[in-house]
């Protein structure tokens, strides 16, 4: 079943490529948040920017250490921050950029869904007495 | 009276904050209970082991299928030889009649 594990483990090049894409994605999210704080400095883009910076860094740590629960926790503020920034962009008539950022939201939401299911299965299997619940 | 977009941001913050807090609380509980939260080296070893076992099983099934094909060919040959020699298989026993 695809997405039965939080991250690709094999082959090594796919593992490396996936980690690179995730790290790049979350770091760019943090950079976008930083730009919102520095250049926009208006409600609600600034607040969204704070959420994106904190969550982007937390998710990067999660991907690098492969602690998928960190990424899972970080995805909520990422979605919230993106939502707030989309709202600001559309209110300020930046239609194209606004809808482009809005298009990112379902992808992050899908990743959140996958990680929620993996964490839920790990807890369930642990309750059933399966020790290495990351895989089975 | 707040603007509509202020209410929207408030709702977003409530959903996102609530979800984040819930996820953090669950992650904390899992960590406390010792639930594996990390894709670790043991996990990868287990995956490698399972993949190896799966390959072995696949090989075994392929052998069985090959053996079955040989059996089928042998039986076909036998039947044809018997037919050529004019030997017919014995009639099947009739099922016992019901009283």
pLDDT digit string, tens, across residues A13-48:
998 999 999 999 999 999 999 999 999 888 888 999
Mutation for testing the B interface, residue in A52, A117, A120, A135 having most B CBs under 10 Å? A135
Q: Which residue has the higher pLDDT, A8 or B47?
A: A8
Return per-residue pLDDT of chain B as tens, 99 residues.
Answer: 788 888 998 999 999 999 999 999 999 998 888 887 777 666 667 777 788 888 888 888 888 888 888 888 888 888 888 888 887 767 788 888 877
Ordered alpha helix ranges (H), chain A: 12-35, 45-65, 68-91, 95-127
| Residue of B39, B3, B17 lying closest to A44 (CA atoms) | B3
The answer to whether the Cβ–Cβ distance between A87 and B9 falls below 8 Å is yes
d(C-alpha A53, C-alpha B15), whole Å: 19
* Distances A104 to A82, A101, B81, B94 between C-alpha atoms, Å: 8, 5, 71, 74
A residues 25..44 contacting B (CB < 8 A): 43-44
* Residue in B37, B40, B46 nearest the CB of A69: B37
B27 in A contact zone (CB under 8 Å) = yes
Per the CB < 8 Å rule, is B27 touching A73? Answer: yes
Res. A133 pLDDT band, cuts 50 70 90: very low
Kindly provide the ipTM of the predicted complex, given to two decimals. Answer: 0.79
Given this model, what pLDDT does residue A125 score? 79
- By Cβ distance, the residue of B8, B19, B30 closest to A119 is B30
Task: For residues A114 and A31, give the distance between their C-alpha atoms in angstroms, rounded to a whole number.
Answer: 25
pLDDT value at position B98? 78
Is A110 part of the contact surface with chain B (CB cutoff 8 Å)? no
B16 close to A80: Cβ distance less than 8 angstroms:
yes
Q: Is B3 on the interface with A (CB under 8 A)?
A: no
pLDDT band at A102 (very low <50, low <70, confident <90, very high): very high
Torsion of CA A97, A103, A105, A106, to 10 degrees: 180
From residue A102, give the alpha-carbon distance in Å to each of A112, B63, B89: 16, 54, 76
Whether residues B47 and A66 touch (CB distance < 8 A) is answered with no
* pLDDT tens-place string over residues A52-100: 999 999 999 999 998 999 999 999 999 999 999 999 999 998 899 999 9
CA angle A110, A80, B2 (to 5 degrees): 140
């Amino acid at each position: 079943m695809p997405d039965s594990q939080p991250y690709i483990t094999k082959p090594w090049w796919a593992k490396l490529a996936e980690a690179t894409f995730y790290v790049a994605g979350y770091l760019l999210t943090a950079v976008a948040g930083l730009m919102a704080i520095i250049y926009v400095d208006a409600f609600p883009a600034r607040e969204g920017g704070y959420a994106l910076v904190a969550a982007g860094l937390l998710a990067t740590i999660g991907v690098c250490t492969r602690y998928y629960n960190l990424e899972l926790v970080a995805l909520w503020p990422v979605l919230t921050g993106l939502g707030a920034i989309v709202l600001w962009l559309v209110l300020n008539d930046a239609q194209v950029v606004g809808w482009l950022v809005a298009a990112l939201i379902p992808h992050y939401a899908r990743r959140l869904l996958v990680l929620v299911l993996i964490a839920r299965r790990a807890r369930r299997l642990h309750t059933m007495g399966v020790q290495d619940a990351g895989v089975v | 009276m707040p603007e509509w977009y202020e209410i929207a941001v408030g709702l977003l913050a409530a959903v996102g904050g609530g979800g984040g807090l819930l996820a953090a609380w669950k992650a904390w509980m899992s960590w406390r209970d010792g639930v594996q939260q990390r894709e670790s080296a043991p996990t990868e070893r287990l995956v490698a082991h399972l993949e190896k076992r799966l390959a072995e099983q696949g090989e075994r099934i392929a052998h069985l299928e090959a053996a079955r094909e040989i059996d089928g060919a042998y039986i076909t040959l036998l039947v044809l030889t018997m037919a050529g020699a004019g030997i017919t298989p014995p009639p099947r026993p009739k099922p016992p009649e019901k009283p």
